[in-house]
Amino acid sequence: MEVFWFIAGNWASIVELALEHITIVGVAVGFAIVAGVPIGIAITQNQSIANAVLYIASIIVTIPSIALFGLMIPILSTIGHGIGWLPAVIAILLYSLLPIIRNTHTAITNVDPALREAARGMGMTSMQRLTRVEIPIAVPVIMAGVRTAVVMNIGVAAIAAYIGAGGLGVLISRGISQTDPRQLITGAIAVSLLAIFADWTLLKLQKLLTPSGLTH
Amino acid sequence: MIQLENLTKTFETPRGVVVAADKVNMTVPTGEICVLLGPSGCGKTTALKMINRLIRPTSGRILINGEDTADRNTIELRRQIGYVIQQIGLFPNMTVEENICVVPRMLGWEAKPAKARAAELIDLVGLDPHHFLYRYPKELSGGQQQRIGVIRALAADPPVMLMDEPFGAIDPINREIIQNEFLKMQATLKKTIMFVSHDIDEAVKMGDKIAIFRGGRIEQYDTPDRILSHPVNAFVADFVGADRTLKRLRLVTAEMIADPGTPAVARGARPQEALQAAKAHGGRTVIVIDANHRPVAYATVEELSGAHGTVGDFAHPLPATVPARADLRAVVSEMFANDVMWLACTDDQGRFAGVVTQPAVTAMLGQSSGQPLTN
Amino acid sequence: MQNMSGMSRMLSLVMVFALGIWVTSSGLLSEIAVYEEDILYLLKQHIILVAASGGAAILVGVPIGIWLSRPIMERSAEMIMQIFNVGTTIPTLAVIALSMTLLGIGFAPAFFGLFVASLLPIVRNTYTGLLAVPRHLKEAAIGMGMTPAQMLIRVEFPNALYVVFSGIRTALAVNVGTTPLAFLIGGGGLGELIFTGIDLMDTGMLLAGAVPTALLAVFVDFVMGQAQLHLVPKGVNPLR
C-alpha cells in the first residue's frame, strides 16, 4: 500500500527515470545494431576471423557489468567521462554486440545453400543476393539477437545507476542506501516490468518482421 | 507362437471414436515371419504394439506360446520380446556394446557373458567386434546402425520379435542386403516374428505369411503366393498392385521349375549320341558341357541330324547362364536381355543343373497357386 | 568456444597481455597491490557465495526440471515454464533488491537472491533438454522393458545432459555476474572494492575489485566450458 502511494506521489519522476533508462538502452543497442550487423555479415566470409570475433565478444559478455564499469572508469576518466551515461552506453553497446553479431552471422551462414544457388542461377549479383535474399531471411534471427540484447541490458542499465547514469536503477540504489522499501520495490518492479514489456514488444516486432513466407 | 484373439483397440478422439483394430484374429506359428501389411493408418502398427503392450488393447486377448500376456508383468513381458523400430532407437549415450547389453543386463546377466554375447552377435551380422563394439551410434552408418538395432533386439535371445518397419529408413541397396542377412539369420534362429511393413515387395520377400490390413481389419491372411495369385477382394488386389503376377516371380527360384533332364553332352561326343539323348528326352536342344560339367554351348536337333564329326563342331556358345538359386525375376530379366527362350542354370559349383524355359515360367505363373509348386 | 581456433587463443593471450601492460605501465599495479589482503579476503567471500548459491541452484533446479518433464506434469508444466521465462527477464539487480526486502541484509538475502537468479536457467534447460529427447528413444526404452526410473537414468537424462550442462553454465555466468551486487545488501564479496572505489573515485581500489571479478567470471566460464566438453559423454556431445 505504501508502495502504491509512493508511486502515485512520484509518478512524474518515475516516468522520467524510465525514459532515461529507455534512452540509455535504446541509444546503446541502436549503435550496436549499426555496428554489429555489418560485422556479423562481414565475418561470414572467413570462419577463423568469425571465431575470433565471436570469442572476444563472448569474453566481454562474461565480464560482470559492474566490473566492466570499473575497468572503464579509469580509461574514460582521461576524457573526463569516468562516470555518467557515457560508460553506461559504451558497456551496453559492448554487451549487445555478441548477441547481434552472433545471430547475424548464424542467420546468414544458415541460409539454405539451394536458395543462394537459385539466386546466383537467376543472375543476381552478390550484393543483390545479400539484400534481396540473405538479409530478409536473416532479419527475424537478427531481431531475436536484438531482443536478447535489450532484455539483458535493461538489467545492466539498472546497475549503471551506481556510476551516475540515471535510470530506474536510481530508485533501487536509493532504496537500498536509505533502507526505503517503497523506493526499492518501486524501482525493482518498474525495471522488471520494463524488461518484460520490452521482451514482449520485441517479440511481436520480431514476428512482424518475419516475411510471411517464413512463418510456420 | 503368437495368437491374437478378437483383438480390438478403440481410441477416443475429438472427432469421435476411432477403431484402430477391429476384432483381429490371427495365429503366427512358431519360427515364422508374419508381415502385417497395409497403407498408413490401417491399424497394423497398433496391432503390433499391443503385443508388447505399448498400446493397451480395448478388448480381446494376446497369447504368446499359449500364455495370455495380460496375466504377465508388462516390464518382464517386454524384456522377453525383441523390439526393432524404424528409427532404430539406438541410445546415443551408450556405445554399441552397451546398447546390445541393455536387455541382458536388465535380465540380470553378469557383465562378462553379456559382453561375450554382444561380440558374438556383432560378428553374426558381419561387423568386426574390435572395430565396432566401443563406438558410439553416431559414428556408424545408417545400415550399420540398423544391424545393431536388430542384434540389440536379439541380445537376450527372445523367442518372439516385433519389428516395426525395421528397414524402412535405409536406402534400397542396403535394405536388400540387410533383408538377405536377416533372412539368413532367421533360417537358423527360427524366431517367431511379427513384422510391420507398407512395402509389398518387402512383405513378399520376408514373410512366411502376410496379413493385409485395412481400417483395423484383416482383409486377407495368407501365404505371399496366395495373396498374389488369389487376392480375396479388389482392395487386396489393388494394394498388391497390377503387376502382382510378376511379383510372384520372386517367390520361385530357377531350380524349382528347371528341367534337369535336358541332355548334356561333352564337346567330343558324336552328334548321333547327342541326337539320341535329345530324342529320348523329347526336346530340341542339347547342352554342351566342359570337363568340369559347366554348361558352355548348345546345339539344336536340326543341326545334329545327319551330321558328322563332334558336337563341338556345331555348337554355339551360350549367351548367358543363371544360378539355380536365382529367383525367376532375375531369370526372366536375363532371358529378355539376351532375347532367348531358355537359359541353362548352374548349381553352386557352376555345374549344369537344368534348363529354364519361358513356357515353364508362364506355366508357373498361370498355375493356380497353393499347388505344391513352391514347396 | 566451439571451434576456438589458434587465432582466438592468441587474441585472448594478447588481450590479457595488453591489459597487464596497461595496468603495470600506468602505475596502477602498485595501487592495486595495496589491497592484496582485502582482495584475498573478499575473493574468498565471493567464491563462497558463488559456490553455495550456484551449487544449491543445481541441486534444486535439476530435480525441479526433471519433475516438470514427467508425464504427470504435462498439463501444468508449460504454464509454469511461461512464468519461469518471464522470471528470467527480471533484471538481477531487481532480484537482489527484492531479496533484501524479504530477508533483510547479510549473507542470507545475498545467497537467496543469487540462488533464485541462477535457478531459472537450470530448471528451464533441464526441462527442455528432457523433453527434447527423441520419442523413438523413449519408445525403444519402453519397448525393451525399462521401468520409468531406468528410462530416466539410463536414457533420458544422459541424452539431455548436454543441454542441462548449458543451463548450468548460463546459470553460473549469471551468478558470477550478479555476485558483485551482493555487497549492496551486505553479502560481502569483491563488489565491496568496486562500489566503494566508485564512491571514493579511488581507481586503485576500483580496479582491485573489478579486475579479479572480471578474471573470476572469465575463469568460471572457461572451466564450465571445459567441463561441458569433457564430462558430457562422447556419444551425446556435439562438441566432440
pLDDT tens by residue, B42-53 = 889 999 999 999
Q: Identify whether residues C91 and C4 lie together within a single domain.
A: no
> For residue C161, is pLDDT > 50?
yes
Kindly report the CATH number assigned to the domain that includes residue C193: 1.10.3720.10
Q: How far apart are CA A155 and CA C69, in angstroms?
A: 30
Which residues from C are below 8 Å from B when comparing CB atoms?
A: 134, 136-137, 139-147, 150, 154-155, 158-159, 161, 233-236
Quote the pLDDT of residue C18: 76
Query: pLDDT tens digits for C190-218?
Result: 999 999 998 888 888 888 898 899 999 99
**Of residues A75 and B154, which shows the higher confidence score?**
B154
- Report the pLDDT value the prediction gives residue A128, as an integer from 0 to 100: 86
C7–A49 CB contact, under 8 Å: yes
Q: Do A162 and C12 touch (CB under 8 A)?
A: no
Q: C88-125, pLDDT tens digit by residue? A: 888 999 999 999 989 988 999 999 999 999 999 999 99
Instruction: Specify the amino acid at residue C212.
Output: P
Output the average pLDDT for chain B.
90
Residue C7: the pLDDT is 62
C contacts of A49 (beta carbons < 8 Å): 7
pTM of this structure: 0.81
DSSP state of A65: H
Contacts of B153 in chain C (CB under 8 A): 144
Residue C181 is classified by DSSP as: G
In which element (H, E) is residue C224 found? helix C203-231
Residue of A nearest to C198 (CA): A163
Query: Which pLDDT value is given to residue C53?
Result: 96
Please tell me which of B241-250, C61-70, C230-239 the model is most confident about, judged by mean pLDDT.
Answer: C61-70
pLDDT at B74 over 80: yes
Tell me whether A180 touches chain C (CB under 8 Å). no
Q: Which pLDDT tens digit goes with each residue over B308-357?
A: 888 888 889 999 999 998 889 899 999 999 999 999 999 989 999 999 99
Kindly provide the ipTM of the predicted complex, given to two decimals. 0.86
Cβ contact (<8 Å) for A67 and C195? no
Residues 6+ apart with CB under 8 A from B110: none
Name B33's Cβ contacts closer than 8 Å, sequence gap at least 6: B186, B193, B195, B206, B207, B208, B209
Mutation for testing the C interface, residue in A3, A22, A46, A59 having most C CBs under 10 Å: A59
Model pLDDT, residue B16: 86
Across the interface, do C93 and A196 touch by the CB < 8 Å criterion? no
B-chain residues within 8 Å CB-CB of C235? 91-95, 136-138
Among A21, A62, A151, pick the best mutation site for testing chain C contact (most C Cβ within 10 A): A62
Which positions in chain B touch C146 (Cβ < 8 Å)?
75, 102, 106
Same domain membership, residue C19 and residue C80: no
From the list C43, C51, C44, the residue with the least C-alpha distance to C212 is C43
Whole-number CA gyration radius for chain A: 20
Q: What is the pLDDT of residue C24?
A: 67
Q: Average pLDDT of B115-128?
A: 92
Question: Residues B287-305: what's their mean pLDDT?
Answer: 89
Instruction: Indicate the range of A90-94, B326-330, C10-14, C156-160 predicted with least confidence.
Output: C10-14
- CB of B34 less than 8 A from some CB of C: no
| Chains interfacing with A (3 or more CB pairs < 8 Å) | C
Q: How close, in Å, is residue C146 to chain B by CA atoms?
A: 7
Q: Which amino acid is at C149?
A: A
Do B271 and B307 form a contact (C-beta atoms < 8 A)? yes
Confidence at residue B252, expressed as pLDDT on a 0 to 100 scale = 87
Could you tell me if C127 and C65 are in contact, meaning their C-beta atoms sit under 8 angstroms apart? yes
- pLDDT of C126 > 60? The answer is yes
Q: Which of B75, B79, B136 sits opposite C234 (nearest CB)?
A: B136
Question: What does the alpha-carbon distance between residue A175 and residue A188 come to, in Å, rounded to a whole number?
Answer: 10
C-alpha cell belonging to residue C133: 529427447
Same domain, C95 and C172: yes
Q: Which domains does chain A have, with CATH numbers?
A: 2-211 (1.10.3720.10)
Judging by beta carbons within 10 Å of its beta carbon (0-12, 13-18, 19+), is residue B286 exposed, middle or buried? Answer: buried
End-to-end CA distance of chain B: 22
Rounded distance between C-alpha atoms, residue A172 and residue A184, angstroms = 4
What is the average per-residue pLDDT within B252-259?
89
Q: Which of B300, B301, B337 is nearest to B320 (CA)?
A: B337
Cell triple for residue B76?
518382464
Which whole-number Å values give the CA distances from C208 to A159, C121, C176, in the listed order? 19, 30, 17
What's the pLDDT at B375? 35
What pLDDT does residue A158 have?
A: 93
**Residue B330 φ/ψ, nearest 5 degrees:** -65, -40
Judge if C117 and C13 occupy the same domain: no
Looking at the partner chain, which of A63, A163, A169 has a beta carbon nearest the beta carbon of C198? A163
Q: How confident is the model at residue C8 (pLDDT cuts 50, 70, 90)?
A: low
From CA B183, how far away is CA B109, in angstroms rounded?
28
Residues of chain B with Cβ-Cβ distance to C233 below 8 Å are 93
- The pLDDT profile of chain A, 216 residues, written as one tens digit per residue, is 688 888 878 888 899 999 999 999 999 999 999 999 999 999 988 888 899 899 888 888 888 999 888 888 888 888 877 788 899 999 999 999 999 999 999 999 888 888 888 888 888 888 888 888 888 888 889 999 999 999 999 999 999 999 988 899 999 999 988 888 888 899 999 999 999 999 999 999 988 887 777 665
**Chain C interface includes B75 (CB < 8 A):** yes
Residue B371 has a pLDDT of 44
**CATH architecture, domain defined by B2-242:** 3-Layer(aba) Sandwich (3.40)
CB B252 within 8 A of CB B373: yes
- Provide the mean pLDDT of chain C: 88
* Shortest CA gap B21–chain C (Å): 20
Strand pairing report for B264-266 and B285-289: parallel
Alpha helix segments (H runs only) across A122-168: 126-129, 135-159
Residue-level pLDDT at A75: 84
Euclidean distance between CA atoms B325 and A186, whole angstroms: 87
Give residue C9's pLDDT.
66
To the nearest whole Å, the CA of C137 is away from the closest chain B CA by 5
Residues sharing a CB contact under 8 Å with residue C157, sequence separation 6 or more, in sequence order: C66, C130, C164
Contact B106 C143 (CB under 8 A): no
Here the cell at position B104 is 541382458
* pLDDT value for B62: 95
- What is residue B186's predicted lDDT score, i.e. its pLDDT? 94
Domain ranges, residue C24: 1-33
Q: Look at residue B372 in the predicted model and tell me its pLDDT.
A: 41
Region(s) of chain B under CATH 3.40.50.300: 2-242
CA dist., res. C188 & res. C180, Å (int): 8
The residue of chain C with its CA nearest to that of B137 is C235
In chain C, the number of structural domains is: 2
pLDDT at A215: 63
- CATH for the B254-366 domain, from 3.30.420.40, 3.10.580.10, 3.40.50.2000, 3.30.70.3270: 3.10.580.10
Count of CB atoms within 10 A of residue B298's CB?
Answer: 22
Average pLDDT over residues C173-194: 92
Q: Are residues C89 and A70, on separate chains, in Cβ contact within 8 Å? A: no
Q: Which residues of C touch B136 (CB under 8 A)?
A: 234-235
From B76, B78, B92, residue closest to C235, measured CB to CB: B92
| Chain A interface test: which of C93, C196, C222 (most A C-beta within 10 Å) | C93
Task: Please give the residue of chain C at the shortest CA–CA distance from B49.
Answer: C143
> Among partner residues C97, C179, C214, which is closest to A71 by beta-carbon distance?
C214
Touching B: which chains, 3+ CB pairs < 8 A? C
Chains B and A touch (3+ CB pairs under 8 A): no
